[in-house]
Amino acid sequence: MFTVNSTSSIPIYEQIINNVKEGLLKNLLVPGDKLPSVRELSKTLSINPNTVAKSYKELENLGLIEVIRGKGTFISKNYSPEPNTKEILALNKMLKQIVINAHYLKLDKNYLIQTINKIYDDFEKGDLND
C-alpha cells in the first residue's frame, strides 16, 4: 500500500502523503488504524526516516493523522474538513487548470467527465492499478 518512486518529479514525502490519501479512498485505511512507525516505514521503503517523518508531520497538520506520543501514529477518527478551506480552493484551482490543459490537448468536457466516472468505477471495482 506504500509505494514510492524516487525518480518521480513528485517529492517522496508527497508521494507518501498521497499513499495515505489513496489508502483512505480505497478503504485500505480507516479511522483508528495504526500507521507503520517512522523507522519501520523508512526501512520498508528504503528511504531516510526524516523523509517519512516529514510526511507524517504534514499529514498531522492536515488533520488526517494523530500522533500519540510514545505509542505511534494513527488515522484521525474525527476528521472533517471545514468547507471553503484553503485546500478546497486549491482543488478548485487544480480543476480549472485541468480544464485549461484539456482544451489545449483538444479534449473536451465530456472527456473529463467520462474519465472521472471511469476513475470512480475503477476504485469501486477495487482496481488498484496506477
Judged by CB under 7 A, the chain residues 61 through 100 that form the site for DNA are 67, 69-73
Decide: 79 and 30 in contact? Cβ < 8 Å.
no
Q: Where are the alpha helices (DSSP H) in 71-108?
A: 86-104
Judged by CB under 7 A, the chain residues 9 through 48 that form the site for DNA are 11-14, 35, 37-40, 47-48
Tell me whether residue 13 is exposed, middle or buried, using C-beta atoms within 10 angstroms of its C-beta: 0 to 12, 13 to 18, 19 or more: buried
41-70 mask for a copy of itself (x: CB under 8 A)? --------------------x--x-xxxx-
Q: Does 128 bind a copy of itself (CB under 8 A)?
A: no
Which residue is associated with the grid cell 480544464?
99
Cβ partners under 8 Å of residue 108, min gap 6 = 102
Pick the closest to residue 1 from 21, 33, 28 (CA basis): 28
Q: Does 101 bind DNA (CB under 7 A)?
A: no
Using CB under 8 A, list all residues that contact a copy of itself: 6-7, 11-12, 18, 21-22, 24-25, 61, 64, 66-69, 71, 80-81, 85, 87-88, 91-92, 94-107, 109, 112-113, 115-117, 119-120, 123
